[in-house]
Structure 1
């Protein structure tokens, strides 16, 4: 899928740099997190590159510190996600129920609304 046209579009978007899909998502996230003060794509890319450099230059965690390192990383991810502005959804996150034609009972409704069902045996 890396056609010359696709490569050219990616390079145009990121100042001549070839950016992988994961890094492109991180750059988009960096731009969204700085809202309402928008930053440029170049600035977001620079921040992401700085983060990658500092991550690569940090020593790997000791085996005994692996749990603490994982907990700290998860805490950082959670804080970043809570600090990020929420995006308004244009569609509901749960599917809508379809209306059944008049006279036709929904299969879901019929399984719950049984005369003499479970609840009537509990009561009597």
Structure 2
């Protein structure tokens, strides 16, 4: 197996069938480098694990994070889609994301995104927000009345817009 590992800006080629071997209880475990076909993340995995992941994803190896994104893609689809179609959608998203140019000022973009998220959450109706619940919230208390916690005011007394 041949692979490339990025170290800073340089790419170093590693050729190995057993890239690393661990000793665990006196037994050597063979591990190989595997590169995610979606995001390019490199991981050390056992050959058996690599085979299981490839079997689940049509011969392609994907990292755990991309695997979860593929599961989420299947759940979010309005209709029943195959794992292969969800994988193609996620790979397309990853390709578009990686090819996009980075923002001119990432710190300002992050601050603007957080400001937008905070304003959107504060402007939403209270009924749509989640409310705190306790394990006893569903029980009847005080002679048939339910006791609940109510928030009297915002945690943020003032926000400049």
Report the TM-score, using the length of structure 1 for normalisation: 0.51
Counterpart of 1:6?
Answer: 49
- CA offset digits 1:50-83 (Å, max 9, x no partner): 00111111110011784268618x86xx9xxxxx
Displaced runs of 4 or more, over 3 A: 93-96
Task: Tell me if structure 1 keeps the 8 A contact 2:58–2:84.
Answer: yes
- Label 1:60 to 1:95 Cα distance change in 2 as closer, same or farther (>3 A): same
Q: 1:46 aligns with which of 79, 88, 99?
A: 88
Consecutive unaligned residues in structure 1, runs of 5 or more: 79-92, 97-124
Task: Tell me if structure 1 keeps the 8 A contact 2:70–2:90.
Answer: yes
| Number of positions where the alignment pairs a residue of Structure 1 with one of Structure 2 | 78
Task: Tell me if structure 2 keeps the 8 A contact 1:61–1:69.
Answer: no
Name the structure with the higher strand share: 2
Equivalent runs, 1:32-71 vs 2, <5 Å = 32-35=75-78, 37-63=79-105, 66-67=108-109, 71=113
CA distance in 1, matches of 2:95, 2:103: 17
Report the TM-score, using the length of structure 2 for normalisation: 0.41
Consecutive unaligned residues in structure 2, runs of 5 or more: 1-43, 121-132, 137-161
